Structure 1
Amino acid sequence: MDATGNPTTATPRLGRYAIDTDSSSITFRSRHFFGLAPVRGTFAIRGGTVDVAEPLSQSRLCVEIDAASFSTGNDQRDGHVRSVKLLDTEVHPLITFVSERVDASSVSGTLTVCAVARPVSLAIVRSQIHADSFTVRATTRVDRTEFGVTAARLMAGRHLELTLEVTCVLV
């Protein structure tokens, strides 16, 4: 979709793109404390590539997310989430996503968190295409318990609403 929300069939130039980590972000929303309090936070993208192919369905995407970058602005909560009880970022420093199917409205693939891989589909809600770059906003909902992240059931939200804003530059 374009910036006005209208569908678009334009695709980026064919080739390999690198994710510009300085211009890209992953934000999330969840709830904690028995589902009463909203929580917002971020993860940092460590790196990744997008190979745009013809047809578009042959395109591929690989993203590495720094698990220890989990941040909500609350040091105590963030430390708990990074600990062995939840993300165990010392043992599992990366969260990865590798695509399996790409089309104009979605990207489906495998998300790996704490060495547990599960299918995830990202809905593309906006894209902007430039001569040698493109930016995509995509959303998904992830159930942390499907990845074995099960501690603090009543205190930490089960679902995360993720929004990815990714800028890719032709290399």
Structure 2
Amino acid sequence: MTTELISRLLQSDTAVGSWTLDPARTTVRISHKTLWGMATVKGAFADVRGAGELGSDHSVTGTITVGAASIDTKNATRDTHLRSARFLDVERYPDIVVTVKSARTTGEAIELSGELTIKGVREPVTLIVEITALARTTLAAHVTGRVDRHRFGVSGNQLGMIIGPATIDVDAVFTRA
């Protein structure tokens, strides 16, 4: 991403308006260290939807909703366990929600501040965004962040095998609403 794209996004009227997430061109991935840090479990969510708004005052707001049951780690047994009440509890809490409340530039990236809700627990979250493409009708971004799952009551850590925070990695494409 270049400083020019950040400037065009947050410092001009180029991108002012409403944007809708394109689920067909968006990928939400997670990874987490396991086996005491010797291996990494990776997964992706297939169900993602959302929208955002860039105000004329260059404010940024939006909501991204991820269907928790759509987790896929390429291991059916593990996925069933992740969907269970011990982890994501998808029967009671079908959605993981990110609500963006503000943004600020940090050199070559944008820092989004907002809230993440998992299993009904709402916690502050900071995400780093790199704008990868910006056209009149399309905005593409790479978003990263780290989340401590214990803050959300996502446990099930047998023998201390799962350590540290989970990494969120998103390639998102928005189209002008």
Normalising by structure 1, report the TM-score. 0.90
Distance in 1, matches of 2:115 and 2:102, equals 10
| Residue matched to 1:109 | 114
The root-mean-square deviation of aligned C-alpha atoms, in Å, is: 1.8
Distance in 2, matches of 1:156 and 1:76, equals 17
Q: Where in structure 2 are there 5+ consecutive unaligned residues? A: none
Letter in 2 for 1:162: I
Letter in 2 for 1:78: D
Q: What whole-Å deviation, never above 9, does each CA across 1:115-171 have from its counterpart, x for those lacking one? A: 000001001134310111100111100010011112225233442111111100011
Distance in 2, matches of 1:114 and 1:86, equals 9
**8 Å contact from structure 2 (residues 60, 103) kept in 1:** yes
Once the two structures are TM-superposed, the CA of residue 108 in structure 1 deviates from its matched residue by 0.7
Once the two structures are TM-superposed, the CA of residue 16 in structure 1 deviates from its matched residue by 0.9
Distance in 1, matches of 2:43 and 2:164, equals 15
**8 Å contact from structure 1 (residues 25, 45) kept in 2:** no
Per mean C-alpha deviation after superposition, the further-off stretch among 66-75 and 26-35 is 26-35
Q: What whole-Å deviation, never above 9, does each CA across 1:59-81 have from its counterpart, x for those lacking one? A: 21111001011111011111101
Letter in 1 for 2:128: A
| Residue matched to 2:152 | 147
| Residue matched to 1:163 | 169
Distance in 2, matches of 1:124 and 1:46, equals 17
Letter in 1 for 2:172: V
Once the two structures are TM-superposed, the CA of residue 28 in structure 1 deviates from its matched residue by 1.6
Distance in 2, matches of 1:147 and 1:41, equals 18
| Residue matched to 1:49 | 51
SS in 1 for 2:82: helix
Q: What whole-Å deviation, never above 9, does each CA across 1:34-59 have from its counterpart, x for those lacking one? A: 22211111123431111111222x22
Letter in 1 for 2:17: G
Q: What whole-Å deviation, never above 9, does each CA across 1:71-121 have from its counterpart, x for those lacking one? A: 110111111011011100011000001111113411110000000000010
SS in 1 for 2:15: coil
Once the two structures are TM-superposed, the CA of residue 7 in structure 1 deviates from its matched residue by 7.0
**8 Å contact from structure 1 (residues 25, 42) kept in 2:** yes
**8 Å contact from structure 2 (residues 5, 133) kept in 1:** no
The structure carrying a bigger helix percent of its residues is: 2
Letter in 2 for 1:112: T
Aligned length: 168
Distance in 1, matches of 2:161 and 2:78, equals 10
Report the identity percentage: 25
**8 Å contact from structure 1 (residues 140, 162) kept in 2:** yes
